[in-house]
Amino acid sequence: MQTNTVRKSETCEEKLRRMCKNIAEEITAGKENAHEWTEHVYDIEWITYQDHSYKAARLLVAGGGPNIWVNLQTNTVDGYWASDKVSWGFVDNIGLDDYLEEIYQPWLYGDGLGK
């Protein structure tokens, strides 16, 4: 007797949820260091205080189809795909926030402080 298995394909929201969850779990697992992890980041959006000192950052880790940002202000992986939005929490066990604060150089971004 042969049985046919029907495999339901994922919806865009389910794919987005899976992708965000995997990224969040990767950061929480802490198996890579922050420097290695950021080598595959497409863009960094700096979040600063009024005096231009570092507050947090958002890292663009996927773009074009889904857009996925790692938000270090909220410790969430935020995914957007068409009208779908997914957020998945993480624990920064690779030191991303500390690493980004260390490499942030406000004088490169025209803070006008003369540093």
Q: How far apart are CA 95 and CA 100, in angstroms?
A: 9
Q: Say if CB 98 and CB 36 are below 8 A apart.
A: no
Q: How far apart are CA 33 and CA 47, in angstroms?
A: 22
Q: What is the pTM of this model?
A: 0.84
* Percent of all residues in the chain with a pLDDT value above 70, rounded to a whole number: 85
Does residue 32 have a pLDDT over 90? yes
Which tens digit of pLDDT belongs to each residue from 61-89?
A: 999 889 999 999 999 999 999 999 999 99
DSSP assignment of 89-112:
E---TT-HHHHHHHH--GGGGT-S
Name, in order, each residue with C-beta under 8 angstroms of 113's C-beta and a sequence gap of 6 or more: 51, 52, 106, 107
Looking at residue 114, what is its pLDDT?
44
Residue type at 67?
N
Q: Measured in Å, how far apart are the chain's first and last C-alpha atoms?
A: 77
**How is the chain split into domains, by residue range?**
12-108
